[in-house]
Structure 1
Amino acid sequence: MLTIFYDSACPLCLAEMRHLQRLDVKSAIRLQDIQHPQFEQRFAPLTKAQAMGRLHGLLDGKLITGLDVTYHAWRLVGRQHWVAPLRWPIIKPLANWGYNIFAKHRYRISYWLTRKQPCPDGRCSLGFKSHKEG
């Protein structure tokens, strides 16, 4: 089981979570919105500030971050071949560097790619399978 702490205010991030949900036929991924008002109370010691800095996940009780979360999410839905190169030793450092830039500027990059602004109230809905957001 993988729990992903995602930013629902980020249009591109939200689109990826929607895509993962559609592919998650085994219910192997649980999504938790870091914009939820009780996020910090529910997931201490992980703070919203930490979660806003980079993608976090819990994989079988172990905290993982960044592209490791992305890799395991796509692995669990049977699409690891899409992201496996990001974990190859020669590519991994460059991919992590690129991910860190994306994480820092995700709202701007999201807008450039989707032409959607961050959600005005800071929290959007996934629109389906909301029981996973719990």
Structure 2
Amino acid sequence: MQDAASSATGLTVWFDGACPLCRREIAMLRRLDRRAAIDFVDVSEGQPESCPVSREDLLARFHAREGDRVLSGAAAFAAMYRRIPVLRPIGELARLPLLDRLFEGFYRLFLRFRPHLQKWAGGKD
């Protein structure tokens, strides 16, 4: 995990390592993050040090810290995508006022189906 000095300029992403969907997506993103611009932190086994978000909230919704800002949902994904060159255009599109709300709407819809998708993928009950 990054120290306080490096987290001021980097991006920390907290993810549920017990979720098979999350594990697959994070594995793909780690491969794409060739510059190691993102610090990926698995929260499935406990509360990370110096994390301002409760473990319960981290497991319920995707979160990231960019500098001193904590982002969640689609905004957290967009920040992560902006750090990965091939995904950067998607992250930049998410800065547009109408698209940020659209992406957040899709993310909330995904959250409603996530438990069913986890079961399908052989994960949590």
TM-score, length-scaled by structure 1: 0.72
- The alpha carbon displacement at 1:14 in A equals 1.3
TM-score, length-scaled by structure 2: 0.77
- The alpha carbon displacement at 1:99 in A equals 0.7
Aligned partner (choices 26, 31, 34) of residue 22 of structure 1: 31
Residues 1-134 of structure 1: matches in 2 within 5 Å? 1-37=10-46, 39=47, 42-78=49-85, 79-111=87-119, 115-118=120-123
Deviation string 1:24-66 (CA, Å, 9 cap, x unpaired) is 11111011111123x25x2443211111221111112321111
How many residue pairs match? The answer is 115
Q: Percent identity?
A: 23
Q: Which runs of 5+ in 2 are unaligned?
A: 1-9
Alignment-derived partner of residue 123 in structure 1: none
Check the 8 A contact 1:10/1:107 in 2, yes or no. no
Check the 8 A contact 1:11/1:107 in 2, yes or no. no
C-alpha distance in structure 2 between counterparts of 1:48 and 1:7, whole Å: 10
User: Which runs of at least 4 in structure 1 moved beyond 4 Å after TM superposition?
Assistant: none
Check the 8 A contact 1:5/1:32 in 2, yes or no. yes
Question: Larger relative contact order (C-alpha < 8 A, sep ≥ 6)?
Answer: 1
